[in-house]
Amino acid sequence: MMATIYRKTTKGQSEVETRALKLAPKFRSMLIMVDGKRSDDELRRMLPPADVDVIEALSVGGFIEAIAVTAEAKSTPRESPAPAPAAAAAAPAASGTPDFQQRRRQAVRALTELVGPLGELPAIRIEGSRTPEELNAALEAAARTIANMRGRAAAAEFLQRFSG
């Protein structure tokens, strides 16, 4: 398993010093912990299981950047997603229906408006969903990001609007 070492970018260093962008506490805390020495696996172990996407969100947002990739002997169970059940794989894809496609598009647009670049990873998951079940799981993940950035009320409103 390969591990990535991250460091703060100029934008990340500025945010630590000035708090200009007012990152949510968990994003700010992780940004502070990124030191150019710890691997992404080490950093993820410092997070609750529900927050493992924080590192990727900071990277996508331009606050941190990868500086090295190293070999690491062990992996964490949170990194490998569970395989899709055979029944779900055999089910016809619902992504072809206009309502499903429109729901995905609108959810991505709303997510982007609410959290900006930090919503890119959940947006990719929403766009990649092929079934209503996958979409609902992606919407739940997006709602966690929204809750961290905008509060629980905004997350609940998002879920109410787009969950099927």
Domains of the chain: 2-74 (1.10.10), 91-162 (no CATH)
Tokens coding 42: 């080490």
Give the pLDDT confidence of 103-138 residue by residue, as tens digits: 888 998 888 788 876 777 888 888 888 888 989 998
Question: Comparing 39-43, 68-72, 110-114, which segment has the lowest mean pLDDT?
Answer: 68-72
Give residue 6's pLDDT band: very low, low, confident or very high (50, 70, 90).
very high
**pLDDT tens per residue, range 76-89:** 444 434 443 433 33
Dist. CA 82–CA 79, nearest whole Å: 10
- Give the residue, 51 or 92, on which the prediction is more confident: 51
The one-letter code for the residue type at 117 is P
State the helix-helix crossing angle for 98-115 and 120-128, rounded to 10 degrees: 180
Among the residues of 34-119, which ranges form H helices?
40-45, 54-60, 86-90, 98-115
Instruction: Tell me how far apart the alpha carbons of residues 56 and 121 are, in angstroms, rounded to a whole number.
Output: 7
Q: Residues with Cβ < 8 Å from 158, sequence gap 6 or more?
A: 107, 110, 111, 114, 139, 142, 143, 146
Give the C-alpha separation, 111 to 114, whole Å: 5
- Bridge partners for 3 per DSSP: 70
pTM greater than the 0.75 cutoff: no
Q: Averaged over 29-40, what is the pLDDT?
A: 87
pLDDT at 9 over 80: yes
